[in-house]
Amino acid sequence: MQQIIKSICLYTDVENAINTISHDKLFILTDEHTNALCLPLIESSKLIGEATKIIIPAEDRNKNIENLSRVWKQLTENGATRHSLLVNLGGGMVTDLGGFAAATFKRGITYINVPTTLLGAVDATVGGKTGINFEGYKNEIGAFYPAESVIISSDFFKTLNHSAILSGYAEMLKHALIDSQSEWEKLFVFPLKHIDYEQLNELVFRSVEIKQSIVTKDPYENSIRKALNFGHTVGHAFESFAIEHNKPIPHGYAVAWGMIVELYLSHKLCGFPTEKLTKTVRFIQQQYGAFDISCDDYEALYEITTHDKKNQGNTVNYTLLSNIGEVKIDQTADKELFFEALDFYRDSVGL
């Protein structure tokens, strides 16, 4: 089972995690941003200082086969073996790509994730999903291959701008919605404009526990793990559409907007309560603003949803809610209802 470490002392916790894993060579993967801003927080470690560094370009558009190949090449050129260890230091882009590199190099080497973003901590680094984007589609190529351990530290959260905090907070909201009323209510009262980082770290660790408990029951997404896809069928469509039009959006924002659409589908198909729909949608609109789409974009967005990995045949598959904490997997909605839900989204965010 993947070990989740709530870091007390980042330097010590990273060293301890590395020392518990037998390895011949140590590699650390960063992107250009985390190499400059985050690596210095742990680089004084003798182990990290002596590790072979691999640096890739930052941002999600670079989570592609070209940079995956770059990682493979540098592992090969620096003598990595099946017994080598890779440390992924970065946000979801780094941990997704680095995890997939680890899964495929020499048919699998061990790796550790050290997420440097809130989004990475609560989403990408936990649960074993790895992958890259391909042909304009999010995470189209990948594998289930969990990190040996994940080290979560609020030291990194203090370096994030407000947009990056919100991006991760959207995934926390998703976890709360699929878990319980009490978790959902906590997130509405947390002071996002005046952050208490100690309190945030507690909320993050609880959010990770929610995800980890689901992943443990269903590691390969055959049943209940699909709960974690709430908001993502439409969220990934928004993301892919944005990339295609050269106006990329943060993953968490896309998921937040996707949740508006999927909460409406939940209301129509599963009876999700109106008052909870209204409260959640209002919160998302106030915090995340809007992704600008028009009626002319509906067909393109629908087409993207037909490529979602959860689909069976030509049917678009959704995870919906009948209430907070009451998940309904493998739900379907026709194109007409999907367009109606997009109308609701546009009305909700003021487009």
Banded model confidence at residue 213, pLDDT cuts 50, 70, 90: very high
Mean pLDDT, the chain, integer: 94
Give the other-Cβ count within 10 Å of 109's Cβ.
22
Q: What is the pLDDT of residue 45?
A: 86
Q: Crossing angle, helix 181-189 and helix 197-217, to 10 degrees?
A: 150
Read out DSSP for 289-311? ------GGGHHHHHHHHTT-TT-
Is the pLDDT score of 157 beyond 70? yes
Can you tell me the mean pLDDT for 342-349? 97
Amino acid identity at 106: K
Where residue 9 falls among pLDDT bands split at 50, 70, 90?
confident
For 206, other C-beta atoms within 10 Å of its C-beta total 16
Say what the pLDDT of residue 118 is. 95
Give the confidence band of 1 by pLDDT, cuts at 50, 70, 90. low
177's enclosing H/E stretch is helix 162-179
Q: pTM score, two decimals? A: 0.89
Question: 349 with 206: CB under 8 angstroms?
Answer: no
The whole-number average pLDDT for the span 243-261 is 94
Mean pLDDT of 172-195: 96
**43 contacts: CB under 8 Å, gap ≥ 6:** 49
CB-based contact 133:127 (threshold 8 Å): no
Please, which pLDDT band fits residue 318 given cuts at 50, 70 and 90?
very high
pLDDT surpassing 90 at residue 290: yes
Per-residue confidence (pLDDT) for residue 63, from 0 to 100: 95
Closest listed residue to residue 142, CA positions, set 191, 187, 97, 195? 97
Give the separation between CA 32 and CA 9, rounded to whole angstroms: 24
* 115 DSSP β-pair partners: 90
For the segment 73-131, what is each residue's pLDDT rounded down to a tens digit? 999 999 999 999 999 999 999 999 999 999 999 999 999 999 999 999 998 888 899 99
Topology of 178-349 in CATH?
Dehydroquinate synthase-like, alpha domain (1.20.1090)
Write out the CATH class of domain 3-157.
alpha beta
Q: Where are the domains of the chain?
A: 3-157, 178-349
Indicate if the pLDDT at residue 342 is higher than 90.
yes
For 20-30, what is each residue's pLDDT tens digit? 999 999 999 99
Instruction: Look at residue 272 in the predicted model and tell me its pLDDT.
Output: 98
Rounded-to-integer distance, Cα 340 and Cα 345, Å: 9
Looking from the CA of 84 toward its CB, the CA atoms found within 13 Å total 25
